[in-house]
Structure 1
Amino acid sequence: MTATVLNPSPIAKAYLDKVRKDVTALVEKGRRRPRILGLLGQEDGPAATYARYAQRGCEAAGIELDVEHVQAHEVEARIAAANIDPEVDGIFLYYPLMDRANDRWLRELVDPRKDVEGMHSFWARLLYENHRHVDAGHELRAILPCTPLAILKLLQHAGLPTHRVGDEPPLAGITACVINRSELVGRPLAAMLANDGARVHSLDVDGAITFEPAIGRRTFDVTDSGIDRAGALASADIVISAVPSRDFELIRGDEIREGAICVDVAEFTNFDQSVLERASVFVPRVGPLTVAMAARNLPRLLRLRSERA
């Protein structure tokens, strides 16, 4: 078996084209062009590269993304100003801006109604409680974190087989392994997969836990599984790894189930080339679709603000 390598760029373009149609319709009704403010603390490096990609993606969607370089001591005041600025429709933070603990705090300073990344605790609470709308009439969709959402969209395009029966959720019967339990990607992704019916083994430096699927209850459950890397990888239909370290022991082909779908989210590759000989689909990067999901979130936020003003 030789894995199909799934390029996220054409998929991202399709979503950006749809966002552009939504934005064009808003402008034709007399609204100004939507604008996102991005705050960047680095002149170069991964965050700066991501900001450039995000600018191109937003431009393709008809959205203006202004990236502003800020010093660590300026960030809080700049977020506060953007929150009340009527000319700013969305806010994008490019980490690191301060340090890990303070960056987590910065996410809480962003007005959730302008949070195109979907990382504020307001949105996280809805995600972890599996509330998919913010209104009783189920017309206003909750905002989901853009990288985990991008991964779910890529899994759909990868041709993930279904084992669901009857009215079970779409990922019922699927087992996933997610390596790294960060608040940015790993934890919300595991929750989203489990809320859609998958059993998710979540591995991290702090140990392993299992997100039990939300079947027969509103939301997932979490248990101390004690499963090790070998067991988690061997049992998984889906393997997603997001370890931001060159020292991570690469996932090898002989560790995964034949036909598994593998997704590499890390800055430094987490997969050995031998995975291509055993996986059915390999996704080498997610970034373009992350940008598309952030752009997609903006019209939803605009509608949310207009309908709940």
Structure 2
Amino acid sequence: MRAAVIDGKAIAAELRSEVNLKAQDLASQGWQPMLISVSVGDAAASEIYVRNQQRQANSAGVEFEARNYPAETSLEQLIGILQGLNADPRVNGVIIQRPLPDHIPVKVLQKAVHPLKDVEGMHPASIGNIVYNDLALGPCTAVASVEILKTLPLQMEGLNVTVIGHSEIVGKPIAFLLMGLGATVTVCHHMTRSVAMHSRAADAVFVAVGKPGLVTGDMLKPGAALIDIGINRIETPDGPRTVGDADFDSCAEVAGWITPVPGGVGPVTVATLMKNAVLATRLQMDHYRDAYARTDV
């Protein structure tokens, strides 16, 4: 039996609906969630992502403003801009768009965003909190991938999971999130001697490497869930296509569930970004109330 294709767009739509209600509640209390997108240099490189974020923000009840700065903007100037956004109570979240000019190290900018406004979950504090099973403002792609798995009729406690790829913002956070849910997790990387040996034993496989066709059907246990996080552009006789890290056709013949690319993890990632924006707004509202509450009445 061919695998059930997981509808990421439907999962994202349901999540945005929930986020919209929470955003309306915050707005009624004077805290309208507001995101600022920061891009530097060639805006066309991130235009599709920004436009998608704008559309989903509107659907989720989150205000969105895109700001583009010249390519020659210095690192010091950008850090100053981010510090200004950190101090502005009207701004609840900051998104750093990639790619950036070569002279701008993305990790430095991510560290410059205040943890309470780190809606992408990229600040070292946000990623580090996952080790303590604190899921507030986690990395969006990692959180979205695990949320997709949670929609399936699988018991998380004791589930055997293989994560292929160990990046700081996807693979490693996924592993910690899954361990927090009680799963038994194996993480594979470029030095793993036999990735297939581990993936064939898994009830669920996550792959985020950036290599099209890396995972094939003979690497999966029959009936396993496959969450494909890869996004790759390849040339075909019919023109360029966007594909994941898994060979969809062969994997779909073996897996029980599979995410398509596009239309799988991507939409849920952006919806998770909006969820983080609303949560960040709530955290900031509570922070300001605690910091400035009157104690003499």
Superposition deviation, residue 199 in structure 1: 1.8
Contact 2:26 2:282 in 1 (8 A): no
Task: Give the letter aligned to residue 59 of structure 1.
Answer: N
| Structure 1 residue aligned with 2:83 | 80
- Within the alignment, does 1:231 sit opposite 2:197 as a pair? yes
Per the alignment, do residues 62 and 237 of structure 1 end up closer, same or farther by CA in structure 2, a change over 3 Å counting? same
Percent identity over the alignment? 29
| Structure 1 residue aligned with 2:179 | 194
* 1:213-232 matched pairs, under 5 angstroms: 228-232=194-198
Per the alignment, do residues 278 and 101 of structure 1 end up closer, same or farther by CA in structure 2, a change over 3 Å counting? farther
TM-score by length of 2: 0.84
Task: Give the letter aligned to residue 79 of structure 2.
Answer: E
- Within the alignment, does 1:277 sit opposite 2:253 as a pair? yes
Deviation larger for 20-29 or 96-105: 96-105
**Of 275, 283, 287, which aligns to 1:296?**
275
Q: What SS class does the counterpart of residue 38 from structure 1 fall into?
A: strand
Contact 1:112 1:120 in 2 (8 A): yes
* 1:206-217 matched pairs, under 5 angstroms: 207-208=191-192
Which structure 1 segments of 5+ residues have no match? 133-141, 163-170, 209-226
Q: What SS class does the counterpart of residue 44 from structure 2 fall into?
A: coil
For 1:241 and 1:100, locate their aligned partners in 2 and report how far apart those are by CA, in whole Å: 30
| Structure 1 residue aligned with 2:237 | none
Alignment coverage as a number of residue pairs: 268
Contact 2:92 2:284 in 1 (8 A): no
Superposition deviation, residue 86 in structure 1: 2.6
For 1:182 and 1:63, locate their aligned partners in 2 and report how far apart those are by CA, in whole Å: 29
- Within the alignment, does 1:154 sit opposite 2:154 as a pair? no
Contact 1:6 1:158 in 2 (8 A): no
Q: What SS class does the counterpart of residue 44 from structure 1 fall into?
A: helix
Which structure 2 segments of 5+ residues have no match? 233-243, 289-297
| Structure 2 residue aligned with 1:286 | 265
| Structure 2 residue aligned with 1:262 | 226
| Structure 2 residue aligned with 1:223 | none
- Within the alignment, does 1:242 sit opposite 2:241 as a pair? no
| Structure 1 residue aligned with 2:294 | none
Per the alignment, do residues 15 and 201 of structure 1 end up closer, same or farther by CA in structure 2, a change over 3 Å counting? same
- Within the alignment, does 1:61 sit opposite 2:50 as a pair? no
Q: What SS class does the counterpart of residue 43 from structure 2 fall into?
A: coil
